[in-house]
Amino acid sequence: MQRWPRKRRLRSQEQALVPTSIRCRTVTTPTLECLIDRFILFLATEKGLSTAYQLSVRQSLDALQLWIIRKNLPPSDLGTEELSQFLTQRKIDGLAASSLRIITVHLKIFFRWLAAKNILPMDPAEPLLAPRTEKNLPDTIHQNLCASLIQNIDITQFLGSRDRAILELFYSSGLRLSELCDAKLENLDLDEKFIRVTGKGNKTRIVPLGEIAKNAMHHYLTNERPNLVTKRTSSPIFLSIRGGALSPDRVREIVKERAQRAGIEQNLYPHLLRHSFATHLLEGGADLRVIQEMLGHADISTTQIYTHVDQKRLKSIHKSFHPRG
């Protein structure tokens, strides 16, 4: 395996998403930096992966390159033991098991690609074992608090109708934050009570609306959205006061502001309403496969975490009311 120079060029976030430079294509022996660039280009053009994923991979590989420089270690000496030491250092730095697992995956796909391109004689990352992630149960909010949160919003006040529709949609349909912000008018059918959203992996799914959420959406679209429209407004369902689409950060603020006004001390955020949507469906007897489809989970194992929440609730009831609890 050829030796790679240790020189490291700092990148801005914009540069990080611009793959292989002309220099990388003309150098006979590519540097590690150039190989990272070429790999990101591969992810973008041949795999069609998202910009966010490309940036995440680059951050992991840049961290490896920086570690190599600090250790004064020739890249040609990288083996399984050295990669394990790198992951150990990241753990010492305070990274959670879930983050270490992601970095391990990034190392594996990068070095597998290098070996497949015959840039390396073998894949040193293949024996690496990803750390097990802790199964943290998702936070939820009680049904009564959900009702209090939403009903506390005065729809006769400015933006009240919009904010109530947002919270109703989160809780009624279990949308992700990005899905709600990207929701378009042309994908909403109030007569049939469904909304079409595009989730992770650009997968489109149809999600039903409850009757109460339908009414809240109708009130907002009829009475408040027209007042927010400007000449530059396109088709996002939820608009800011300037007529543009609401940003994820602003929606998070709206949820927190409405919780404070309702006197709710629990830390509320959009994904908590998604968790509550799934948990309350399961408690009501909904089939796990149906919940999986509505949430847009690719794997049923992701949805199964909500069964642990329900089991926890059942154990609590048993302990409180059974004579042998």
- Catalytic amino acids? 176, 200, 271, 274, 297, 306
Can you tell me the distance from the alpha carbon of 285 to that of 97, in angstroms, rounded to the nearest whole number? 33
Can you tell me the distance from the alpha carbon of 292 to that of 137, in angstroms, rounded to the nearest whole number? 17
Which strands, in side-by-side order, build the sheet including 188-189?
188-189, 194-198, 204-208
Can you tell me the distance from the alpha carbon of 211 to that of 193, in angstroms, rounded to the nearest whole number? 8
Cα-only R_g, the chain: 25
Can you tell me the distance from the alpha carbon of 137 to that of 139, in angstroms, rounded to the nearest whole number? 7
Residue type, 28: T
Q: How far is CA 23 from CA 20, 39, 188, in A?
A: 8, 15, 49
Using a 10 angstrom Cβ sphere, with 0-12 exposed, 13-18 middle and 19 or more buried, the burial of residue 53 is middle
Q: What would the two tokens of residue 323 be?
A: 């004579």
Can you tell me the distance from the alpha carbon of 79 to that of 107, in angstroms, rounded to the nearest whole number? 12
Helix H or strand E segment including 194: strand 194-198
Can you tell me the distance from the alpha carbon of 190 to that of 289, in angstroms, rounded to the nearest whole number? 25
